[in-house]
Amino acid sequence: MPLELKHIKSTDSTPELILDPTGIVKIKGRGIGREFPGLIKEVSGWVEEYVHIPAEVTYVDIFCEYLNSYTTSFIVSVLRKLSSLELKGYKVNINWYYEDGDDDMLERGEFIASSLDAEFVFIRCHDRVLCN
């Protein structure tokens, strides 16, 4: 059974996720929930399948306005699995968007990048609408 497009809408405490088997992963919104095991299981399962039949290039776009430590660890686990594709010869492009002046989100992205030893492109948005 081929991997399907998965679009998980945001809630008050979880970000929106778009998981496209053509090589597009988007994470957008706020991550303030304490636990969301159903979501983690669903996303982790999709990512596990994807890394077995990935696109030549995977594009990851992250547009978050806030991430607590729980959501950060969830994102790190997803990015760790996706960035492992580079060891198999695939390309992974990770774009981290943050609002102009939001040093906390920039630092969060830099911390994640350093903990993964992955190359991130940091994109400062001057307007929230353009960041989306």
57, 96, 54: which is closest to 75 by C-alpha? 96
Give me the domains of the chain, ranges plus CATH numbers.
6-131 (3.30.750)
d(CA 101, CA 105): 9
Summarize pLDDT for 67-84 with one digit per residue, the tens. 998 889 999 999 999 999
Query: Does the pLDDT at position 129 exceed 70?
Result: no
Which pLDDT score is estimated for 130?
53
pLDDT tens readout for residues 30-62: 988 777 777 888 999 999 999 999 999 999 999
As given in the structure block, the two tokens for residue 21 are 């088997």
Confidence (pTM)? 0.91
